[in-house]
């Protein structure tokens, strides 16, 4: 009886998930194995579209470059967003009176659409009218007034850092919640035993945060591999300038909707399948590693 | 106690979800008969900004075609391709969709979603380059009626030219001297937004069209007699590099909207763009006197080269195969090939109509039309090199960006373009 009523409660969500997520995913997977003439399905193509991705221009050059940018985006986000986020969360944890207000403030930018954020930063960083370069010039730092989004050496880092700025509130909230779950007695006992703040943090608090760090890392990986809106707002669908802000999702968008190629559905579905395998595989591997770490800590 | 199936609640929930989804689904009344008398034709377009103009145009059509109501439904331009693909495949699509042109419409044609119009619509006497925009590459059949002719144009600020004692240059040396004079006066000579790579093939066509030789080069490259490594083509790309010093500082970081603003704010004297930019520029600064000039051939051009105005057609309208009102949809598309419709496109939508013999009231558009009629050539990379991936415009846009960043020279950019398009382009095919 309990099982049946459980099913009843789960069913609506399950059906919606099936119709709107699972079914499109499975069909996209199947599309990758057929030839296409616009929206009309042709004969069975086998692995042709996957071979195209690795052997034909522009995919054979654009795909590895875009994937590298996704990975750099992940590493940059891990290095800045999650470390700064943890530091901010720890500081806020020690200030219970202002914690709520500051957590809200840190979370504010992610309430704004990434497209709007991208547009605003594009205006701020414009070499022609942007206030950032005008300010740098006015205070005598002319050499720092770079074409931030026009130079391939800086453009990707601008995308990463603006993303960090926008999403910093996310790890702050997650780590904040995890810190709230760390028993206060453990830290107190350590301090009674003469441990410094630093020792308490690295020996007591941080190990207990590993599950939260793991969750944040896996979510960051998925987020970085799926990055679309912010890079699109900064560099358009071609990852301007000269492909330096190109990401896999942008390549997918170009292939599916911009190319006008007759076989666009097949090739883009193959790309989507590859992306899914990378994300799913990466997330599984990361979760397995983290579980092992957790077991070692709790053992 | 009777044993109840555990799947019954699931089935119940499934049924209720389907009922809920059905309730949310569109009724599909748009294209159906209205009370048995009036028929509603749905026209889809990506021109949200022209909605009022089209409603005005279709009001005129409805008056002369009693029994037909035209419902103009525009969508966001960047989303349009995927919305149209879904619409044409499903049952709630448009009767008369606005479709892309040249290579960009081939996938739609290949999917069999459009009605061939040969023998049904009379487009005799129309420009060949314009007609090519509406044809299937495979079968050569006509699938749409072109709406407008666009052209690549060098806009210039008449007031700034006059103030600096500059007349419209007729040779490359005069053109460079004009740029030098403007730069000396603290004005950005040419406003280019090289951050947006899609604009750069247009800039190249404006600056280098006369250098690579317009229509003659098109014929030579399509027949295989020449390719993009040809010295004249390379010279046309290099012309852009030579002009970099006259573009805004850090040009690869400047967005096209910033370039337009520089021109509209009269901080820049010239803006290479398309005729479709004119309305935006006029709206941004109605006081500014805008003129158009044809850039003279640069060093390296064939002797006797003449300036050109490159053009293409777009905004074509077609008939969906799934339309339930085939006869009425065809009648509407036929009307779109008449001078009456063309004149309204010129007056209301402010475009150069594709219909021959239509007069433009706007002086600048009129000038562009005259230039095209006199020295017209195809915007080669759009009209002939968008039939496969990577497209010519994508390759050149990215290549010029790399050249302006100092990573490649004109020869390398041209070579990459040639190698890229040859992955799908077969000369003489």
Contacts of residue B255 in chain A, CB cutoff 8 Å? 122, 126
Distance from CA of B104 to the nearest CA of A (A): 5
- Test mutation, A262, A269, A270, A272, chain B, max B CBs within 10 A: A262
Contacts of residue B110 in chain A, CB cutoff 8 Å? 37-38, 40, 262
Phi and psi at B273, nearest 5°, equal: -155, -155
B65 and B154 co-located in one domain: no
Please report, for chain A, how many H helices and E strands are present, in that order: 16, 2
Last residue of a domain, one of B276, B303, B337: B337
Burial of B266 per CB tally in 10 Å (0-12, 13-18, 19+): middle
Phi and psi at B291, nearest 5°, equal: -125, 170
B299 and B171 co-located in one domain: yes
- Distance (Å, rounded) from C-alpha B403 to C-alpha B241? 7
* Domain presence at residue B368: no
Distance from CA of B199 to the nearest CA of A (A): 12
Position B305 scores a pLDDT of 83
Domain of residue B415, CATH code: 3.40.190.10
Mean pLDDT of A29-48: 88
Contacts of residue A8 in chain B, CB cutoff 8 Å? 9-10, 12-13
Residue position matching structure tokens 């991208």: A118
* Domain presence at residue B14: no
Inter-chain residue contact B398 with A7, CB threshold 8 Å: no
* Domain presence at residue B348: no
Plot region of B4 (φ>0 → left; ψ -120 to 50 → alpha; else → beta): beta
Plot region of B165 (φ>0 → left; ψ -120 to 50 → alpha; else → beta): left
B403 and B278 co-located in one domain: yes
ipTM: 0.79
Name which of B24, B42, B135 is nearest B87 in CA terms: B42
Name which of A209, A178, A167 is nearest A80 in CA terms: A167
Domain of residue A224, CATH code: 1.10.3720.10
Plot region of B427 (φ>0 → left; ψ -120 to 50 → alpha; else → beta): beta
Q: Residues of A near B (CB-CB distance < 8 A)? A: 3-5, 7-8, 11-12, 15-16, 19, 37-40, 56-58, 122, 125-129, 146-152, 236, 238, 240-243, 255-262, 264
Domain that holds residue A217: 42-298
* Domain presence at residue A29: no
- Test mutation, B25, B97, B188, B195, chain A, max A CBs within 10 A: B195
Distance from CA of B10 to the nearest CA of A (A): 6
Q: Tell me the H-state helices in chain A.
A: 2-17, 23-31, 48-55, 59-76, 83-93, 96-107, 114-124, 131-138, 152-167, 169-180, 184-192, 197-200, 206-225, 229-235, 248-253, 264-298
* Domain presence at residue B227: yes
Inter-chain residue contact B197 with A37, CB threshold 8 Å: no
Inter-chain residue contact A5 with B14, CB threshold 8 Å: no
Cβ(A150)–Cβ(B251) below 8 Å: yes
B280 and B397 co-located in one domain: yes
* Domain presence at residue A26: no
Phi and psi at A236, nearest 5°, equal: 70, -175
Q: Is the pLDDT of residue A14 over 50?
A: yes
Residue position matching structure tokens 């919305």: B83
B236 and B323 co-located in one domain: no
* Domain presence at residue A16: no
Least confident interval from A132-141, A275-284, B22-31, B92-101: B22-31
Position A56 scores a pLDDT of 86
CB neighbours of B303 closer than 8 A, spacing ≥ 6? none
Q: Is the pLDDT of residue A86 over 90?
A: yes
* Domain presence at residue A33: no
Distance from CA of A14 to the nearest CA of B (A): 9
Q: Which of A122, A127, A242 sits opposite B398 (nearest CB)?
A: A242
Position B28 scores a pLDDT of 38
Inter-chain residue contact B252 with A151, CB threshold 8 Å: yes
- For residue B123, CA distances in Å to B54, B60, B141 come to 22, 22, 13
From first to last of its 429 residues, chain B has per-residue pLDDT tens of: 344 444 444 343 443 433 333 333 333 334 444 445 689 999 999 988 889 999 999 999 999 998 999 999 999 887 888 889 889 988 889 999 999 999 889 889 988 999 999 999 999 989 888 999 999 988 999 999 999 999 999 999 999 999 999 999 999 999 999 999 999 999 999 999 999 999 999 999 999 999 999 899 999 999 999 999 999 999 999 999 999 999 999 899 999 999 999 999 999 999 999 998 998 899 899 999 999 999 999 998 887 788 999 999 999 999 999 999 999 999 999 999 999 999 999 988 888 999 998 988 889 999 999 999 899 999 999 999 988 888 999 999 999 999 999 999 999 999 999 999 998 899 986
Q: Which residues of B124-160 are buried (b: 16+ CB within 10 A; e: fewer)?
A: eebbebbbbbbbbbeeeebbbbbbbbbbbbbbbbeeb
Cβ(B343)–Cβ(B359) below 8 Å: yes
* Domain presence at residue A36: no
Position B48 scores a pLDDT of 87
B276 and B225 co-located in one domain: yes
Q: What is the dihedral of CA B167, B171, B174, B180, to 10 degrees?
A: 110
* Domain presence at residue A275: yes
Contacts of residue B261 in chain A, CB cutoff 8 Å? 128-129
B140 and B191 co-located in one domain: no
Contacts of residue B249 in chain A, CB cutoff 8 Å? 127-128
Cβ(B257)–Cβ(A128) below 8 Å: no
Q: Which of A58, A151, A241 sits opposite B390 (nearest CB)?
A: A58
Q: Which of A15, A147, A259 sits opposite B14 (nearest CB)?
A: A15
B258 and B247 co-located in one domain: yes
pLDDT band at A165 (very low <50, low <70, confident <90, very high): very high
CB neighbours of B283 closer than 8 A, spacing ≥ 6? none
* Domain presence at residue A8: no
B191 and B259 co-located in one domain: yes
B64 and B178 co-located in one domain: no
Position B5 scores a pLDDT of 44
Inter-chain residue contact B389 with A259, CB threshold 8 Å: yes
Phi and psi at B351, nearest 5°, equal: -125, 160
Name which of A78, A109, A84 is nearest A172 in CA terms: A84
Count of domains forming chain B: 2
Residues A4, A6, A12, A15, CA torsion sign: negative
Residue, of B38 and A35, whose pLDDT is higher = A35
Distance from CA of A258 to the nearest CA of B (A): 8
* Domain presence at residue B24: no
Token pair belonging to A31: 């599309």
Q: Which of A40, A148, A238 sits opposite B253 (nearest CB)?
A: A148
Name which of A110, A87, A234 is nearest A175 in CA terms: A87
Per-residue pLDDT of A179-227, as tens digits, reads: 988 888 888 898 888 888 889 888 888 888 988 998 899 999 999 999 9
Q: Which residues of A16-44 are buried (b: 16+ CB within 10 A; e: fewer)?
A: eeeeeeeeeeeebeebbbbbbbbbebeee
B106 and B139 co-located in one domain: yes
Token pair belonging to B181: 């004079």
* Domain presence at residue A6: no
Domain that holds residue B200: 150-312+379-421
Token pair belonging to A21: 């997520």
Cβ(A182)–Cβ(A205) below 8 Å: yes
- Distance (Å, rounded) from C-alpha B39 to C-alpha B30? 9
Count of domains forming chain A: 1
Name which of A174, A272, A160 is nearest A223 in CA terms: A160
Interstrand relation of B68-74 and B96-99 (parallel, antiparallel or unpaired): unpaired
Contacts of residue B388 in chain A, CB cutoff 8 Å? 261
Name which of B126, B33, B197 is nearest B358 in CA terms: B126
Residue position matching structure tokens 């003279």: B296
| Local structure of residue A80 (DSSP, 8 states) | I
Plot region of B393 (φ>0 → left; ψ -120 to 50 → alpha; else → beta): alpha
B275 and B320 co-located in one domain: no
Token pair belonging to A278: 């990378």
- Distance (Å, rounded) from C-alpha B87 to C-alpha B100? 15
Chain A to chain B, count of Cβ pairs less than 8 Å apart?
146
Q: Which of A4, A5, A151 sits opposite B253 (nearest CB)?
A: A151
């Amino acid at each position: 009886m309990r099982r049946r009523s459980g099913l009843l409660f789960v069913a609506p969500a399950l059906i919606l998930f099936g119709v709107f997520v699972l079914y499109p995913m499975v069909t996209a997977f199947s599309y990758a194995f057929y030839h296409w003439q616009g929206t009309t399905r042709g004969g069975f193509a086998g692995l042709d579209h996957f071979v195209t991705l690795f052997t034909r221009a522009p995919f054979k050059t654009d795909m590895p470059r875009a994937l590298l940018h996704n990975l750099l985006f992940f590493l940059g986000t891990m290095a800045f967003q999650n470390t700064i986020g943890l530091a901010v969360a720890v500081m806020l944890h020690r200030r219970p009176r202002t914690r709520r207000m500051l957590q809200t403030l840190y979370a504010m930018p992610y309430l704004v659409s990434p497209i709007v954020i991208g547009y605003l930063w594009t205006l701020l960083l414009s070499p022609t009218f942007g206030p950032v370069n005008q300010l740098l010039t006015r205070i005598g730092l002319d050499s720092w007034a770079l074409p931030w989004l026009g130079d391939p050496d800086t453009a990707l880092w601008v995308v990463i850092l603006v993303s960090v700025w926008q999403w910093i509130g996310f790890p702050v909230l997650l780590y904040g919640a995890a810190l709230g779950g760390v028993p206060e007695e453990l830290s107190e006992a350590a301090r009674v035993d003469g441990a410094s703040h630093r020792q308490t943090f690295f020996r007591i608090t941080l190990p207990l945060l590993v599950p939260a760090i793991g969750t944040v890392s896996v979510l960051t990986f998925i987020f970085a591999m799926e990055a679309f809106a912010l890079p699109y707002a900064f560099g358009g669908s071609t990852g301007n300038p000269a492909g330096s802000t190109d990401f896999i999702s942008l390549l997918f968008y170009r292939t599916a909707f911009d190319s006008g190629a007759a076989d666009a559905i097949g090739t883009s579905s193959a790309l989507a399948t590859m992306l899914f395998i990378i994300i799913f595989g990466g997330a599984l591997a990361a979760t397995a590693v983290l579980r092992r770490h957790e077991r070692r800590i709790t053992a | 106690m009777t044993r109840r199936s555990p799947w019954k609640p699931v089935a119940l929930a499934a049924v209720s979800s389907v009922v809920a989804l059905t309730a949310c689904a569109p009724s599909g009344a748009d294209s159906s008969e209205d009370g048995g008398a009036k028929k509603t034709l749905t026209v889809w377009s990506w021109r949200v900004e022209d909605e009022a103009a089209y409603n005005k145009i279709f009001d005129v059509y409805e008056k002369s075609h009693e029994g037909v109501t035209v419902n103009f439904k525009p969508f966001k331009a960047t989303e349009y391709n995927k919305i149209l693909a879904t619409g044409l495949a499903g049952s709630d699509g448009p009767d008369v969709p606005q479709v892309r042109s040249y290579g960009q419409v081939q996938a739609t044609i290949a999917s069999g979603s459009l009605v061939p119009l040969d023998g049904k619509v009379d487009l005799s006497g129309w420009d060949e380059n314009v007609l090519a925009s509406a044809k299937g590459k495979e079968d050569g059949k006509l699938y749409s009626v072109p709406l407008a002719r666009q052209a690549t144009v060098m806009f210039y600020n008449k007031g700034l030219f006059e103030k600096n004692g500059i007349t419209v240059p007729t040779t490359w040396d005069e053109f460079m001297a004009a740029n030098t004079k403007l730069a000396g006066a603290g004005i950005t000579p040419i406003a280019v937004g090289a951050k947006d790579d899609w604009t750069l093939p247009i800039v190249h066509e404006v600056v280098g069209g006369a250098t690579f030789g317009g229509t003659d080069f098109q014929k030579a490259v399509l027949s295989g007699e020449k390719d993009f490594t040809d010295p004249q083509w390379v010279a046309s790309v290099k012309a852009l590099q030579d002009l970099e010093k006259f573009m805004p500082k850090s040009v690869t970081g400047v967005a096209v909207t910033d370039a337009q603003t520089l021109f509209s704010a009269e901080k820049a004297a010239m803006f290479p763009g398309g005729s479709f930019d004119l309305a935006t520029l006029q709206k941004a600064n109605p006081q500014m006197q805008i003129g158009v000039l044809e850039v003279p051939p640069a060093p390296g051009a064939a002797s006797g080269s003449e300036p050109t105005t490159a053009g293409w057609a777009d905004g074509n309208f077609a008939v969906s195969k799934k339309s339930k009102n085939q006869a009425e949809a065809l009648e509407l598309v036929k009307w779109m090939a008449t001078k009456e419709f063309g004149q309204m496109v010129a007056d209301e939508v402010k475009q150069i109509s594709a219909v021959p013999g239509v007069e433009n009231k706007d002086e600048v558009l009129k000038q562009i039309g005259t230039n095209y009629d006199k020295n017209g050539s195809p915007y080669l990379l759009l009209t002939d090199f968008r039939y496969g991936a990577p497209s010519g415009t994508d390759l050149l846009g990215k290549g010029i960006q790399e050249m302006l960043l100092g990573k490649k020279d004109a020869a390398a950019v041209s070579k990459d373009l040639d190698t890229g398009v040859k992955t799908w382009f077969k000369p003489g095919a």
